[in-house]
């Protein structure tokens, strides 16, 4: 990774004038973000909010089919741009058919992964597919705008964990690694550094939550911060 890869200007993503609130959870594989996304959705529902819980890649029938291609371990290699565009194609479908309508109805959307994952995995993890990381980030952001119409989260929780611990959790759970996890810890170390660089660039939006604690402690902390954000809004 080149040093300029962490000195980029963060592009402010936002839901603009939509009445709903878009919250994402991010982190390396095994960081517990899917569990925490589900827990946050329950906590917000209990607090009286109307919540849509979803995930990327996936979330709609077409996007789930794209997910199957992306995570298929039988596919040994894929061009970098194909991988990026498939993640973004899944996102385009997800945003236009599920997320944007929910935000227009005023719901809180809790999504397991979004653009930060594409930047962390495809720009930092894949080292820009051969171009400089900062240039890859620019290209991804531009294509992402086409896929989303500029829609992005207002609040993000980054569950930060040493990737080797995340992979251990997957082994203990008896789950076989998907195509990206199969890249191993050197790749995932770059992904983690990417996430942390993104959080450093946008500290107001991205809250870094150490993911080594108990599930309950972490979910209480995330719910507390999310409710405080929603009350201030
Ligand atoms: P998941 O295991 O959290 O469901 O995510 C599926 C995999 O896809 C995970 O290894 C991260 C990867 N991914 C990317 O590489 N780029 C992306 O844009 C997204 C959303 C996920």
pLDDT for 5 beyond 50? no
Distance of CA 209 to the CA centre of its chain: 14
Average pLDDT over residues 142-161: 97
Q: 0.85 exceeded by the pTM?
A: yes
The per-residue pLDDT for range 73-119, each reduced to its tens digit, is: 899 889 999 999 999 999 999 999 999 999 999 999 999 999 999 99
Distance of CA 59 to the CA centre of its chain: 13
Q: What is the pLDDT of residue 16?
A: 63
User: Mutate which of 82, 92, 121 to test ligand 1's pocket (most atoms within 8 Å of Cβ)?
Assistant: 121
Assign a CATH topology to domain 21-232.
Answer: Rossmann fold (3.40.50)
Q: What is the pLDDT of residue 114?
A: 98
CA distance 212 to 30: 11
Q: Which of 162, 221, 160 is nearest to 189 (CA)?
A: 162
Tell me what percent of the residues of the chain surpass a pLDDT of 90.
79
> What is the 3-state composition of the chain as percent helix, strand, coil, each rounded to the nearest 5?
55, 15, 30
Task: Give the pLDDT band of residue 19 (cuts 50, 70, 90).
Answer: very high
Q: Which residues line ligand 1 (CB under 6 A)?
A: 29, 55-57, 71, 87, 113, 117-118, 121-122, 178, 180-181
The per-residue pLDDT for range 39-69, each reduced to its tens digit, is: 999 999 999 999 999 999 999 999 999 999 9
User: Mutate which of 29, 30, 90 to test ligand 1's pocket (most atoms within 8 Å of Cβ)?
Assistant: 29
Q: Give the H or E element holding residue 207.
A: strand 206-210
């Amino acid at each position: 990774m080149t040093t300029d890869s962490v000195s980029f200007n963060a592009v402010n993503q936002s839901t603009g004038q939509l009445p709903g609130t878009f919250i994402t959870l991010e982190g390396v594989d095994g960081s517990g973000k899917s569990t925490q996304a589900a827990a946050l959705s329950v906590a917000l529902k209990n607090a009286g909010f109307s919540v849509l819980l979803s995930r990327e890649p996936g979330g709609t029938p077409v996007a789930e089919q794209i997910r199957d291609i992306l995570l298929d371990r039988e596919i040994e290699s894929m061009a970098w741009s194909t991988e990026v565009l498939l993640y973004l194609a899944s996102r385009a479908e997800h945003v236009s058919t599920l997320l944007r309508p929910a935000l227009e109805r005023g719901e809180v959307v809790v999504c397991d992964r979004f653009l930060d994952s594409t930047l962390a995995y495809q720009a930092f993890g894949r080292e820009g597919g051969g171009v400089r990381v900062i240039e890859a980030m620019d290209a991804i952001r531009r294509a992402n705008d086409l896929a989303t119409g500029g829609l992005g989260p207002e609040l993000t929780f980054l569950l930060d964990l040493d990737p080797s611990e995340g992979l251990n959790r997957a082994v203990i759970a008896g789950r076989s690694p998907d195509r990206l996890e199969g890249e191993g810890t050197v790749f995932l170390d770059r992904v983690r550094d990417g996430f942390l660089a993104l959080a450093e660039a946008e500290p107001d939006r991205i809250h870094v939550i150490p993911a080594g604690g108990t599930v309950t402690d972490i979910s209480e902390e995330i719910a507390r911060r999310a409710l405080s954000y929603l009350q201030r809004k």
